[in-house]
Structure 1
Amino acid sequence: MMVNGVTVVAEDDITEEEITAIVSEELQLWKQKGKELGKVTLSLDGEEIVVKAVERSPIRRIRRITGYLSTEDRFNAAKQAELTDRVVHF
């Protein structure tokens, strides 16, 4: 499930209102730290909700096309089509 751009994994007993409130609070805390929240895992421990938050990875995927390193968003239409047509061999 996604809430405010954050991946959330939560137990079924936690309501959507609780999830949204917790994620909003975590987003504010992480923003104060100058970090970007990537994933929140919510679990129950008796009557308490346990929150585990993980920072979004700063790693970007860079590909080499015709000798140049670039990210996929900078590919022209032909290179993007080539990328989607590729077949993975195991």
Structure 2
Amino acid sequence: MRAACITHRRLERAMDFLRAPQSGHMTIADVAAAYGFTNPENFSRAFKKTFGLSPRQMRHFESENRDVTSDIIKPDSEEWTRWIV
């Protein structure tokens, strides 16, 4: 369980980075490596499973100023607590 929490936290930080304008110069593989994922394909698969979008889609939608994260359940939200219990 602890490993899953750590992975989820790294994915959240990667998502925040991908949403930032300064991430545009980095490849998805570079972002994966920067957040502790040795395999970019595993990173992309875990990212999509967690957030419903691939890292590339997240970056694309964010660059178009769409709010794609409103449907993502945040770990500190009441909905997350109901879901996890």
Is TM > 0.5 for Structure 1 vs Structure 2?
A: no
Greater RCO (Cα-Cα under 8 Å, separation 6 or more): 2
- The two structures have a TM-score, normalised by structure 2, of 0.28
Q: Which has the higher strand share?
A: 1
| Higher CA-based Rg | 1
- The two structures have a TM-score, normalised by structure 1, of 0.27
